[in-house]
Amino acid sequence: MRAASWVGGLAGAMITAVACVATAPGASASAAGFCDQIGGQWNGQYCHAMVQSKRLGVREINIAIPGELDNPVMGKVIGDYLSTLMNNWRTAAARMVADSWGDANFETFQHGNLRTVVFHENYHADGTALNNAYRTFTFDLASGRQLQLADVVDPAAVPSLGAPFIQAALDQAPPPHDPGSYPFIAARWTPDKVYSGGYNAWALTPTELILYLPDYPVARDAPIDFTPGALLWSMDGGTVQPHIPLSALAPALRPEI
Task: List, for residues 214-252, the tens digit of each pLDDT value.
Answer: 999 999 999 888 888 888 899 999 999 999 999 999 999
Question: Residue 112 domain-assigned?
Answer: yes
In a shared domain, residues 181 and 234: yes
In a shared domain, residues 137 and 169: no
CB 37 within 8 A of CB 46: no
Q: Is the pLDDT of residue 255 over 70?
A: yes
Q: Is the pLDDT of residue 10 over 60?
A: no
Residue 138 lies in domain: 20-147
- Which of 6, 11, 2 lies closest to 104, judged by CA? 6
In a shared domain, residues 80 and 49: yes
Angstrom distance (rounded) from CA 122 to CA 142: 32
In a shared domain, residues 217 and 174: yes
What's the total number of domains in the chain? 2
Containing 141, the helix (H) or strand (E) segment is none
> To the nearest 10°, the Cα dihedral for 213, 200, 157, 6?
-40
Give the HSE-up count for residue 211: Cα atoms under 13 Å, Cβ half-sphere: 29
The confidence band for 127, taking pLDDT boundaries of 50, 70 and 90, is low
In a shared domain, residues 242 and 229: yes
Question: Residue 14 domain-assigned?
Answer: no
pLDDT tens figures, 29-84: 799 999 999 999 999 999 999 999 988 999 999 999 999 999 999 999 999 999 99
In a shared domain, residues 180 and 213: yes
Q: Is 40 left (phi over 0), alpha (psi -120 to 50) or beta?
A: beta
Q: What phi, psi does 3 have (nearest 5°)?
A: -80, 130
CB 108 within 8 A of CB 116: yes
**pTM, full prediction:** 0.87
CATH number, domain of 25, equals: 3.30.565.40
Indicate the residue among 124, 147, 170 that finishes a domain.
147
pLDDT tens figures, 149-208: 999 999 999 999 999 999 999 999 999 999 999 999 999 999 999 999 999 999 999 999
Containing 4, the helix (H) or strand (E) segment is none
Indicate the residue among 147, 178, 193 that finishes a domain.
147
- Helix runs in 11-118, H state only: 31-37, 75-93
Question: Residue 231 domain-assigned?
Answer: yes
Question: Residue 2 domain-assigned?
Answer: no
Indicate the residue among 147, 167, 184 that finishes a domain.
147
CA distances from 169 to 45, 46, 213, 224, 242 (A): 32, 31, 10, 24, 5
In a shared domain, residues 100 and 120: yes
CA distances from 223 to 15, 23, 88, 186, 189 (A): 30, 38, 29, 16, 13
In a shared domain, residues 67 and 126: yes
Residues of the chain with pLDDT > 90, as a percent, come to 77
Angle among Cα 37, 134, 235 to the nearest 5 degrees reads 135
In a shared domain, residues 174 and 142: no
In a shared domain, residues 55 and 43: yes
